[in-house]
Structures are given as C-alpha cells and as structure tokens.
A = this chain, B = another copy of it.
Amino acid sequence: MPPDPRFRVGDIAARTGVSVRTLHHYDEIGLLRPAHRTVSAHGSGHRLYSVADLSRLQQILSLRQLGFTLDEIADALAGPRFDPLAVVRLHLARAKEVLKSQHQLCDRLEHLAGHLERAEEVSADTFLRTVEATIMAENHFNLPPDQAATLAAHWAQYSPADIEAVQNEWPILIGKVKDAMTAKKDPRSPEVRALAARADELTRMFTGGNASVSAQLRQRYESDPELQQKAGIDPAVMAYLAQARGE
C-alpha cells in the first residue's frame, strides 16, 4: 500500500500556478480544506493536500472558469449527486467556445492591422467589429455563467431518477390544471392554488431557484409557440396560474 502522497501549498503553487494565497483563501471560506495538517503546539500546522483535494481543486477551477462565484461553486460541490465528469465536459465546451471567439478576434485584429499598415482611413464599422470581437472573447472567458451552464450544473446535482420523476409529474400536473379550467373552478380555491404551488415548486427544481434563469426561461416560453406546445403550456394556462398565485 503506497502511502498516498501529500502536497504542500508551495508544491501546488510551483506545479500549477495557483497562488498560495488562493489556497489559503479557499481554506478560509471552507471551499477547499486540506485533508491533513501537520500537528503543532502553537499556531496551526502546515496544510497537507491529498489527491482527492487536488481533484476538488480541479473542479473548483473549472467551475470558476465557467463564471460561477465561489459561493455557487461551494453549493454545486455540496450537491448530493454532483458529477465531476459533467463539470469537465462543461469546461471543455466552454474552452472550445473561447477558441472560436479567439480565432475571430485574431481575424479582426489582422484585418485592422492591415488597414493601419497601409495607412488607410479606417471605417467605423471596422472599429466596431474589432471591439465586438474583443468583448465577445472576454465574455466567453470571464462572464457570468450562461443559462446552459447554470442549468447543466444544476441538473448535475440530481440523479437520473429524480429528473425522470419531475418530467413525469409535469404533464400530469398540467392536465389537472386544464381539468380545473374546463370545470371553471375558481382559481383562488385552495385546490387550484395547491396545484399552482406545486407547479412553481417543480419550476424551481428546473431552474435551481435562480431568478434570472427562470426569467429568461419564461421569456422564451412566451415568445416560442413550439415550446409552449411541448410543455402543454399555453397563455390561457399561464393566466390561470397567475390568478391562482394571486397576481
């Protein structure tokens, strides 16, 4: 049995480029506690990271690159069925996007350089497109996670069984709502209000309770008739539910 290796902050810093301060910080906020520490009388001992810790560090950096805040990352990693492979795949997808936008940026910069070399007048459009490419490259790198990533990261926390259960319940629930509508039941009745509440609950599971995600999702539903049909939601149902919620 090989004694599993231990890594000290300096080792990790030297080999990866992660700063010592960053490791300290992640420890402070409880995001990445080293598996062990050396024992000592006075101060606290030196941090000793295990291989599992390195794995977690990799996940953290991938999620950070995806634009999540450290708090969000902590939540994601704490999820019951969180999936490292899914995270790596998301990061990979993002990295490929960056590649593409970076390529475009190079094209644009070369274009602009060409104009400047020939001392030509440069059009506003050229500047605008160059700036756009610059910003897009930045966005793919730094910015808040897009819905896709947010949703994916959220879904990764649920098991396939959970997901299936939700997807099965949804049409049933909508069916009940439609029944209530055709029966002309009062939307403010306790029965209908319960249905609406459950619908909201399921929606929250879908969106992870993220306000901006659910807002965007609603917009897309409202503007896309096809999606409405697939989910069985039409404006009438939406209005009915809104009434039930007391709006």
Contacts and interface: CB of A to CB of B under 8 A. Distances in A.
A95 B89 contact: no
Contacts of A3: none
Interface in A116-148: 116-117, 122-124, 127-128, 130-132, 134-139, 141-142
Contacts of A98: 98, 102, 137
Contacts of A57: 127, 131
Contacts of A131: 16-18, 54, 57-58, 61
Contacts of A138: 65
Interface string A81-101: 000110011011001101100
A212 interface: no
A136 B17 CA distance: 7
Nearest to A134: B61
A62 B17 contact: no
A185 to B, nearest CB: 46
Interface of A: 5, 7, 12, 15-18, 51, 54-55, 57-58, 61-62, 65, 84-85, 88-89, 91-92, 95-96, 98-99, 102-103, 105-106, 109-110, 112-113, 116-117, 122-124, 127-128, 130-132, 134-139, 141-142
19 contacts: A12-B128, A15-B128, A16-B128, A51-B127, A57-B127, A58-B130, A58-B131, A58-B134, A61-B131, A84-B116, A88-B109, A88-B112, A91-B134, A92-B113, A95-B105, A95-B106, A98-B98, A141-B141, A142-B142
